[in-house]
Amino acid sequence: MKRLDLDDLPPKAAALLASAEDGEEVLLVRNGAVVARLVGGPAAPAAETQVDPAQSAEDRAKEIFELFRSSVEDEF
């Protein structure tokens, strides 16, 4: 899979791609010829993680590691 970071694009192009609705097509054209067709998908859910500003970086790292460890144990 190829990846395109919208932050690397001009603002107008990034806005056009980001605003494509579910099922809406966006054509990529070069010299009048269609070179690609992108289809918008459902919007990704917003991240719900809140970082406590009072939490130290070490405590946050421990929490992330524990979450990772438990995920691995659940998987295997």
Residue 19 CA neighbour count, 13 Å, CB half: 6
Work out the burial of residue 20: count CB atoms within 10 Å of its CB; fewer than 13 is exposed, 13-18 middle, 19 or more buried. Answer: middle
Q: Residue 39 in contact with residue 25, Cβ under 8 Å?
A: yes
**Within-domain flag for 60:** no
The answer to whether residue 71 sits within a structural domain is no
Please say if the pLDDT value at position 1 is more than 80: no
Could you give the number of structural domains in the chain? 1
Q: Is residue 29 part of a domain?
A: yes
**Does residue 51 fall inside a structural domain?**
no
Task: State which amino acid sits at residue 43.
Answer: A
Residue 21 forms part of a structural domain: yes
- With a CB cutoff of 8 Å and minimum separation 6, the contacts of 27 are 34, 36, 37, 38
Question: In this predicted model, what pLDDT tens digit does every residue of 56-76 receive, in sequence order?
Answer: 778 878 888 888 777 777 765
pTM metric for this prediction: 0.48
- Average per-residue pLDDT for the chain: 81
